[in-house]
Amino acid sequence: MGEPAASALSVRTAEDLDQLSDDALMLRLREGCPEAFDELVRRHQRGALQAAFRFLGCAAEAEDAAQNAFLNIYRRRDRYQARGCFRAYLFRVVVNEARAKLRQRRRQQATLRRLEEEPGTTAAQGVEAAGDEPLQRALSRLPVRQRAVIALRFGADLPLQDIARALRLPLGTVKSRLFGGLQNLRREIQGEPA
């Protein structure tokens, strides 16, 4: 008799893992294969970072949000259901983490404003934007609901159907938020000083 089949898990190589679907990787992770998580991060980190950046407009905050999203998924690995929707699942968590960052930022800015009002204190305002600053400023003026759809569409390159799944919205709502958001974005950009 040979070794039990379970031991095959421990000799899986990175080369094997990159052949597996996202669902299969989550199942490997549940079975105790941490390399499966590394592979999921490798596959999706770029989309998660860029989507968070388009939403937040700050590279440092985007990195934090993406990290927190992946950690959240790692912590809840036992509860994942393999239904072929990993991307939607991941990007829902990314959007939630980005929203949490936004709330945190607003609280900090409120504190800073209060500090500034006190005599003898000074405080920096706002978040340092990176890259295409006029674009990010224009994005930051959009309603959060429109910004989330735009971030997933252009940051993570998600199809509209996946965005609908991720945000748990009907496809029609996703389309109207996307095109309404893009229209608003153009107006904002046109209103920006050159």
Judged by the rule CB under 8 A, the positions of this chain that interact with another protein are 5, 24, 27, 30, 34, 37-38, 41-42, 45-46, 49-50, 53-54, 59, 62-63, 66-67, 70-76, 78-83, 85, 88-89, 92-93, 96, 130-132, 135, 150, 153-155, 157, 175, 178-179, 182-183, 185-186, 189
Burial class (CB in 10 A: 0-12, 13-18, 19+), 165: buried
Asked if residues 63 and 69 have their Cβ atoms less than 8 Å apart, the reply is no
When the beta carbons of 107 and 186 are compared against another protein, the nearer one is: 186
Q: What H or E segment, with its residue span, contains residue 79? A: none
Tell me the chain's radius of gyration from C-alpha atoms: 20
With respect to another protein, which residue has the nearer C-beta, 50 or 140?
Answer: 50
Least gap, CB of 116 to another protein (angstroms): 28
Distance CA 135, CA 169 (A): 26
Q: Which is nearer to another protein, 12 or 175 (CB)?
A: 175
